[in-house]
C-alpha cells in the first residue's frame, strides 16, 4: 500500500515537472470583475471602482512567452477599458486597451476577453484602466517571470515584494476632472499618496502605513510600480541603499542609489539588502516638481521592520528629497543603462528612416464659458488631440473614413525658441491625426518640452514598443551637435520616458509591430488636455507581419 502511494507520488511529480518544463508556453486565465467597493482604510466611505474588490487590484503573474487570457466584466455604470502597460502586443493591438484608440469601451453589463502573448518579455509592468481618470483606482502589477530554468542576471533574491505607488482623492476622480474641464483651470491635486493602497498617517486619517517585514542578511527584490495619475515620485528607505536592476521590464546594468525616481507608468526593480541587525526604518514617498505647478505635498510613509525588533523601538528617519530636486532626478535617469549582455543585447537602430521632432507642452485656448475666458489645453506640435467616437484601430482595419487623418506633422509647424520666453499666442489647433510608418522602419523621436504657460516634465509613454533613450538634455535640442553625444551602445530600453523640465529626450525604435499605437503624456491631466497622438504602423508582407483579425467579442461604440 505504502509502495503504491510512493509510486503514485513519484509519477505525479514526474507529470508535474514535465508540465512545468516540457510545455513551451502556459495559458494563464484571469477574470477581472470591475465593481464598486468601499475601502475603509482610505478614511472615506465613498465606494471606488476596483477590480475584484481590491485596491490595488490583483497581480497578474505569468512567465515569459505565456499566453494571457483576461475576461473583463463591467459591473459599474462607467465605461471600462484595461491597458497592459508595456506589453508589446505584437499583432494583437485589439488587446492593448486605450479607449477609442484600439477599442470601444466595455459598457455596463458587457464583457471582453483580452488575449495576448508575452513574447520575449520578462520583468515588472502594470495594468491599468485606460479611459477617463479610472486608472486612479483600477490598476495592479504584472509580474512576468523568466522562463523556467532561466536565472535573473543578478544574484537571486531571497524574497520578492510588489510595491505599488499611487495617488488618492477624497472626491470622485471623474468629478475632479469634469469640474476642471468645465472651468478651464487645473484640477485639484490628490489628497494623499499611497504605498500598496495604504496612505500612512494623513490629515484627518489615522490609516496605518505599509510595512515590509525583513530578516537581517536577506535580499529582497522590490518590484516598484508608479500607478499614480499626475505625479512623478521619489521613493526612499532610511539607512539602506537600493540596487536598480531593471526598469519597465528591461534589465539594466546594476547601480546603487539612495533614492528611486519614478514617473507614472514606469516600473523599477531594485534589490534591497537587509544589512542592519534590528530596527525600523521609514519608507518615504514624495512628489517631484521643479516648476510652478501644484502638487500633493503629503508624504506617504511606511516602514521596513526587521524580525526581532521590539515594538517600542524608534523608527529611523531620513531626509525627504526636496520637491524640486532636479539634480537627483537627472542623476537617476542618467545612471540607467541597458544591461547589453550577449543574452540581453541592446538592439539600438543605428540608422533612422523617420526622424520626428515633437514639441510637447501646454497651451491656452479661448473658452467663453470658462472661469478666465480661456481653457488650459495641451498638445503635440501645436495639435490638441481630439478623441474620436470610433476606435482608430477599427477605422484603420475596416477602412472607415472620416475618423482620423494621417497628416500628423513630423515637426512643429512654426519653429520657435521652445524653452525660451513663450510666444504671446499660446493657442493650439484641434485634430485627430496619426503619423504613418511602414512596417519595420526605424524611427527617432526627439520629445522637446516647451515652456508655454510653464515648462514641466512630461513622462511620455509609447504603446506597442519599447524604445531606447539615446540622449537627453536641457534647453532646445540641437540637431547638429546633440546627436554626436548619443549613446547608441547601451542606452536604457523602456516604454515611458520622463522628458526633463524645459528640456528634451531622444528615443529610437523599430516599427516592427503593425497596428495603431498611442503616444501620450502619462500625467493623466495632460492626456485629458490633449497631449496625445498615435502612430499607424502598416502591415508588412504576409500574415506574420500583419495585424490579427479582431476578436468576435470586441466591444462596439
Ligand X SMILES: *[C@@H]1O[C@H](CO)[C@@H](O)[C@H](O)[C@H]1NC(C)=O
CA pseudo-torsion sign 237, 242, 244, 249: negative
Residue 188's binding partner among Cu ion, ligand X, none (Cβ under 5 to 8 angstroms by kind) is ligand X
CB atoms within 10 A of CB 168: 29
Span 455-494, contacts to Cu ion by CB under 5 A: 461
Window 52-111: residues binding Cu ion (CB under 5 A): 85
Q: Tell me if 294 contacts ligand X by CB under 6 A.
A: yes
Q: Which residues of 425-448 are buried (b: 16+ CB within 10 A; e: fewer)?
A: ebebeebbbbbebebbbbbbbbbb
Residue 139 sits in the site that holds Cu ion (CB under 5 A): no
- Closest distance between ligand X and the C-beta of residue 72, in Å? 13
> Among 184, 114, 251, which Cα is nearest to 525's?
184
> Which residues in 438-502 belong to E strands, given as ranges?
442-449, 458-462, 467-474, 493-494, 496-499
User: What does the DSSP 8-state code read for residue 337?
Assistant: B
Q: Is 193 in the site for Cu ion (CB under 5 A)?
A: no
The residue (of 171 and 219) whose beta carbon lies closer to ligand X is: 171
Q: Which of 104, 163, 198, 356 binds ligand X (CB under 6 A)?
A: 104
User: 461 contacts which partner out of Cu ion, ligand X, none, CB within 5 to 8 A by kind?
Assistant: Cu ion
Q: Residue 417's binding partner, choosing from Cu ion, ligand X, none, with beta-carbon cut-off 5 to 8 A by kind?
A: ligand X
**Rounded Cα distance, 189 and 192, in Å:** 9
**Which residue number, 198 or 225, has a Cβ lying nearer to Cu ion?**
225
Smallest separation (angstroms) from Cu ion to the CB of 509 = 16
* From the list ligand X, Cu ion, none, partner contacted by residue 85 (C-beta under 5 to 8 A by kind): Cu ion
Is 532 a residue that touches Cu ion (CB under 5 A)? no
Nearer of residues 256 and 323 to ligand X, judged by Cβ:
323
CA distances from 108 to 31, 74, 115 (A): 16, 5, 21
Residue among 175, 387, 410, 489 that touches ligand X (CB under 6 A): 175
Q: Under the criterion CB under 6 A, does residue 79 sit at the interface with ligand X?
A: yes
Name the residue among 252, 225, 17 with its Cα closest to residue 154: 252
Task: Give the residue from 493, 93, 34 showing the smallest Cα distance to 266.
Answer: 493
Query: CA dihedral in degrees (400, 404, 406, 412; nearest 10)?
Result: 180
Query: Using CB under 6 A, which of the segments 50-58, 173-181, 208-216, 270-278 binds ligand X?
Result: 173-181
In whole angstroms, how far apart are CA 338 and each of 46, 189, 463, 484?
44, 34, 20, 19
544 binds ligand X (CB under 6 A): yes
Q: Does 474 bind ligand X (CB under 6 A)?
A: no
Joined together, the cell numbers standing for residue 522 give: 502619462
Binds 297, which of Cu ion, ligand X, none (CB < 5 to 8 A, cut-off by type)?
Answer: ligand X
Q: Does 481 bind ligand X (CB under 6 A)?
A: no
For position 372 contacting ligand X by CB under 6 A, the verdict is yes
Q: Which of 31, 115, 316, 318 binds ligand X (CB under 6 A)?
A: 115
Closest contact distance (angstroms) between CB of 265 and Cu ion is 5
Strands 442-449 and 503-510: antiparallel
In the set 134, 301, 382, 444, which binds ligand X (CB under 6 A)? 382
Cell numbers linked to 163: 510595491
Of the pair 477, 535, the CB lying nearest Cu ion is at 535
Q: Which does residue 471 bind out of Cu ion, ligand X, none, counting CB within 5 to 8 angstroms by kind?
A: none
Q: Does residue 69 belong to the site contacting ligand X (CB under 6 A)?
A: yes
Chain-centroid distance of CA 102 in Å reads 17
Closest to 138 (Cα-Cα) out of 147, 128, 130, 146: 128
Which position among 40, 45, 204, 481 is part of the footprint of ligand X (CB under 6 A)? 204
**Least distance (Å) between residue 323 CB and ligand X:** 5
Q: Which 389-448 residues touch ligand X, going by CB under 6 A?
A: 413-414, 416-417, 420-421, 423, 425, 427-430, 440
The three cell numbers locating residue 431: 485634430
At residue 304, the 3 state secondary structure works out as strand
Considering only the stretches 185-193, 217-225, 229-237, 252-260, report the one whose residues sit in contact with ligand X under the rule CB under 6 A.
Answer: 185-193
Q: Is 103 helix (H, G, I), strand (E, B) or coil?
A: strand
- Residue 286 contacts residue 374 (beta carbons within 8 Å): no
Of residues 268 and 298, the one with the C-beta less far from ligand X: 298
- Among 46, 75, 179, 213, the residue binding ligand X under the rule CB under 6 A is 179
Nearest-angstrom CA–CA distance, 102 and 82: 11
* Distance between CA atoms of residues 227 and 259, nearest Å: 18
CB 449 within 8 A of CB 418: yes
Minimum CB distance to ligand X smaller for 313 or for 425: 425
Three cell numbers written together for 346 = 541592446
Site for ligand X in 297-356 (CB under 6 A): 297, 323
Chosen residue from 138, 162, 176, 282 binding ligand X by CB under 6 A: 176
Q: Copy the grid coordinates of residue 15.
A: 507529470
Considering only 230, 295, 299, 460, the residue that binds ligand X (CB under 6 A) is 295
Residues making contact with ligand X (CB under 6 A): 69, 79, 104-105, 107, 113, 115, 171, 175-176, 179, 185, 188-189, 203-204, 294-295, 297, 323, 365, 372, 376, 382, 413-414, 416-417, 420-421, 423, 425, 427-430, 440, 512, 542, 544, 548, 557
Amino acid at each position: 500500500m505504502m509502495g503504491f502511494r510512493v509510486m503514485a507520488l513519484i509519477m505525479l511529480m514526474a507529470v508535474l515537472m514535465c508540465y512545468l518544463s516540457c510545455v513551451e508556453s502556459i495559458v494563464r486565465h484571469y477574470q477581472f470583475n470591475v465593481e464598486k467597493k468601499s475601502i475603509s482604510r482610505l478614511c472615506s466611505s465613498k465606494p471606488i471602482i476596483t477590480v475584484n474588490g481590491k485596491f490595488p487590484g490583483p497581480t497578474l503573474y505569468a512567465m515569459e512567452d505565456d499566453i494571457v487570457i483576461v475576461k473583463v466584466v463591467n459591473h459599474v455604470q462607467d465605461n471600462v477599458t484595461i491597458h497592459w502597460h508595456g506589453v508589446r502586443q505584437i499583432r494583437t493591438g485589439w488587446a492593448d486597451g486605450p479607449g477609442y484608440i484600439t477599442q470601444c469601451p466595455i459598457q455596463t453589463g458587457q464583457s471582453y476577453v483580452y488575449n495576448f502573448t508575452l513574447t520575449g518579455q520578462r520583468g515588472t509592468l502594470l495594468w491599468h484602466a485606460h479611459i477617463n481618470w479610472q486608472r486612479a483606482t483600477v490598476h495592479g502589477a504584472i509580474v512576468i517571470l523568466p522562463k523556467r530554468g532561466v536565472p535573473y542576471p543578478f544574484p537571486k533574491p531571497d524574497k520578492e515584494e510588489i510595491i505599488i505607488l499611487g495617488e488618492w482623492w477624497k472626491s470622485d476622480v471623474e468629478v475632479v476632472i469634469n469640474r476642471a474641464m468645465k472651468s478651464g483651470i487645473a484640477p485639484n491635486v490628490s489628497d494623499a499618496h499611497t504605498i500598496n493602497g495604504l496612505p500612512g498617517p494623513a490629515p484627518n486619517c489615522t490609516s496605518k502605513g505599509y510595512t515590509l517585514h525583513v530578516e537581517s542578511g536577506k535580499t529582497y527584490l522590490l518590484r516598484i510600480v508608479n500607478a499614480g495619475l499626475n505625479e512623478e515620485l521619489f521613493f526612499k528607505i532610511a539607512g539602506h541603499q537600493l540596487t536598480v536592476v531593471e526598469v519597465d521590464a528591461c534589465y539594466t546594468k546594476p547601480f546603487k542609489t539612495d533614492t528611486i525616481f519614478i514617473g507614472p507608468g514606469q516600473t523599477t526593480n531594485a534589490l534591497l539588502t537587509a544589512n542592519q541587525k534590528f530596527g525600523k526604518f521609514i519608507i518615504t514617498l514624495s512628489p517631484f516638481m521643479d516648476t510652478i505647478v501644484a502638487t500633493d505635498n503629503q508624504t506617504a510613509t511606511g516602514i521596513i521592520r526587521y524580525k526581532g525588533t521590539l515594538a517600542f523601538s524608534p523608527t529611523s528617519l531620513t531626509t525627504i528629497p526636496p520637491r524640486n530636486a532636479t539634480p537627483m532626478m537627472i542623476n537617476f535617469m542618467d545612471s540607467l543603462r541597458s544591461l547589453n549582455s550577449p543574452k540581453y543585447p541592446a538592439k539600438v537602430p543605428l540608422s533612422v528612416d523617420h526622424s520626428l521632432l515633437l514639441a510637447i507642452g501646454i497651451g491656452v485656448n479661448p473658452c467663453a464659458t470658462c472661469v478666465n475666458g480661456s481653457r488650459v489645453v495641451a498638445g503635440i506640435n501645436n495639435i490638441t488631440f481630439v478623441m474620436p467616437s470610433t476606435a482608430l484601430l477599427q477605422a484603420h482595419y475596416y477602412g472607415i473614413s472620416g475618423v482620423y487623418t494621417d497628416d500628423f506633422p513630423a515637426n512643429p509647424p512654426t519653429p520657435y525658441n521652445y524653452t525660451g520666453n513663450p510666444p504671446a499666442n499660446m493657442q493650439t489647433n484641434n485634430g485627430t491625426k496619426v503619423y504613418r510608418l511602414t512596417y519595420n522602419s526605424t524611427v527617432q523621436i526627439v520629445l522637446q518640452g516647451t515652456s508655454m504657460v510653464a515648462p514641466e516634465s512630461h513622462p511620455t509613454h509609447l504603446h506597442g514598443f519599447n524604445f531606447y533613450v539615446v540622449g537627453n538634455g536641457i534647453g532646445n535640442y540641437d540637431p547638429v551637435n546633440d546627436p554626436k553625444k548619443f549613446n547608441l551602445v547601451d542606452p536604457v530600453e523602456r516604454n515611458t520616458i520622463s522628458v526633463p523640465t524645459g528640456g528634451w529626450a531622444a528615443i529610437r525604435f523599430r516599427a516592427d509591430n503593425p497596428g495603431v499605437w498611442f503616444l501620450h503624456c502619462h500625467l493623466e491631466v495632460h492626456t485629458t488636455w490633449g497631449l496625445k497622438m498615435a502612430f499607424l504602423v502598416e502591415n508588412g508582407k504576409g500574415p506574420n507581419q500583419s495585424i490579427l483579425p479582431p476578436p468576435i467579442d470586441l466591444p462596439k461604440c
